[in-house]
A = this chain, B = another copy of it.
Amino acid sequence: MATNITYHPSPVTPTVRSSLRRQQGLTIWLTGLSASGKSTIAVALEQALLRKPYNLSAYRLDGDNIRFGLNKDLGFSPKDREENIRRIAEVAKLFADSCTIAITSFISPYRADRDLARQLHHAERPGGEPGVPFVEIWIDVPVEVAEKRDPKGLYKKAREGKIPEFTGISAPYEEPLKPEIHIRSDQTSVEDSVKIIVGYLEEKGYLSAPPEVNEV
């Protein structure tokens, strides 16, 4: 569809930007059932990264700021869910490219959609620079436990047939096959979940300032 568009090289390459911002960008993609604890963990993780000792730029994308804004034209049909995740992946990638840690918190039930998000992030960037890291985290909880929690009463409505295509009840959740991190949220506290995630990011070197480059 996009025609008449040419690519403008910028002197601010990804390497130069990371050096100037003293930070690497990446996307942390949380996936799991409704009421699995994704948003709670996302909020706690964002805070941990924003505050000491990290003082990093981090930003959450979730239903609150996406479904009411960018994606307010989309519903919950399979096609709209796919487009919802595609747009979120593209926006997360922009944040990661800008040297922020993007934290997405969406059910994202389909493997194909999550794989597309990963591919978008891993695609080479202009100037032959590599893509950005994509960390898929499965916030796993048995559907029975999620249904008992049901803080918004959504499972109840789904059982009553008032919400069609509700993930885990009347629509599938395709479990991640090889997530970078797998957390059983009914067996792990929010605090420990954040420790596990931050530990992984540290081990990978994602939280360290990148080397300064000469041309800066």
Listed in ascending order, the chain A residues whose CB lies under 8 Å from chain B are: 1-8, 10-12, 17, 20-21, 39, 43, 46-47, 50-51, 55, 57, 59-65, 67-76, 80, 87, 90-91, 93-95, 97-100, 120, 126, 152, 154, 157, 163, 216
Are A64 and B1 neighbours in the complex by a CB distance under 8 Å?
no
Are B1 and A72 neighbours in the complex by a CB distance under 8 Å?
yes
Contact of A43 (CB < 8 Å), options: B11, B59, B68, B152: B11
Counting chain B CB atoms within 10 Å of each CB, the highest count among A10, A11, A55, A74 belongs to: A10
What would 13 A/B residue contacts be, using CB atoms closer than 8 Å?
Answer: A1-B75, A2-B75, A3-B163, A4-B154, A4-B157, A4-B163, A5-B64, A5-B68, A8-B64, A11-B43, A11-B47, A69-B90, A94-B95
Query: How many angstroms between the C-alpha atoms of A3 and B2 in the bound complex?
Result: 31
Are B47 and A69 neighbours in the complex by a CB distance under 8 Å?
no
Contact of A97 (CB < 8 Å), options: B43, B62, B63, B65: B65
Contact of A73 (CB < 8 Å), options: B1, B20, B64: B1
Are B12 and A47 neighbours in the complex by a CB distance under 8 Å?
yes
Are B43 and A10 neighbours in the complex by a CB distance under 8 Å?
yes
Query: How many angstroms between the C-alpha atoms of A50 and B216 in the bound complex?
Result: 10
Are A8 and B39 neighbours in the complex by a CB distance under 8 Å?
yes
Min CB–CB distance A4 → chain B (angstroms): 6
Are B67 and A5 neighbours in the complex by a CB distance under 8 Å?
yes
Query: How many angstroms between the C-alpha atoms of A164 and B100 in the bound complex?
Result: 38
Min CB–CB distance A180 → chain B (angstroms): 23
Chain B residues with CB under 8 A of A100? 57, 98, 100
